[in-house]
Amino acid sequence: CIMRSSWNKLLGFLKVETLAAKPMKEKLKMFNLHFEEICRVQSQWFVFDEQLREELRISVEKLLLPAYGSFIGRFQIIPELAKNGDKYIKFGMEDIEARLNNLFQGRIGSNGGRK
C-alpha cells in the first residue's frame, strides 16, 4: 500500500543509531521535509467512509506519535542540539497531531467540489 510505504519511510528517519549531533540534525531535517510532503499529498486524498477515514488516521497516529516523541526526547538530551532546539524542531507533538487530523478529508476546490 502506497500509504503504508510513505509512513514507514518517514518512521525510518526517526530511528536513532547514534546520539551524535550531525546525524540527528540530518534525520530531523529529512523527517520535516517528508512529513510536510506526505501531509500535503494525503490531505488531498478523500476517504468517503467516515469510520474508515478515522481508523486510517488513528493507525498513522499510533505509529508516528510515539516514534516522534521518543526521537525528540533523545534529540533534546544532546547538549549542542538542546540549546538550539527551536531552530531544528519544526513540529511539536500538537502540530503533528493537528496535521494528522487533516488527512484523508480531501481538499475543497475553488468551485466548491472536492479535488
Amino acid letter, 58: I
Span 50-60, average pLDDT: 94
- In the prediction, which pLDDT does 108 show? 52
Round the average pLDDT of the chain to a whole number and report it.
Answer: 90
State whether residue 57 is helix, strand or coil: helix
pLDDT at 1 over 90: no
Report whether pLDDT(106) > 80.
yes
Burial 56-73 (b: 16+ CB within 10 A, else e): bbeebeebbeebbeebbe
Q: Enter the CATH code of domain 2-8+20-101.
A: 1.20.1280.170
At residue 27's C-alpha, the angle toward residues 38 and 72, to 5°, is 90
The pLDDT of residue 13 is above 90? yes
The average pLDDT across 78-86 equals: 90
Per-residue confidence (pLDDT) for residue 3, from 0 to 100: 73
Which distant-in-sequence residues (6+ apart) come within 8 Å of 38 by Cβ?
A: 6, 7, 10
pLDDT given at position 84: 87
pLDDT in tens, 18-42: 989 999 999 999 999 999 999 999 9
| Best CA proximity match to 16, nearest among 59, 61, 63, 68 | 68
| Spatial contact of 44 and 114, defined as CB atoms under 8 Å apart | no
Among candidate residues 40, 45, 48, the one with its CA nearest the CA of residue 106: 45
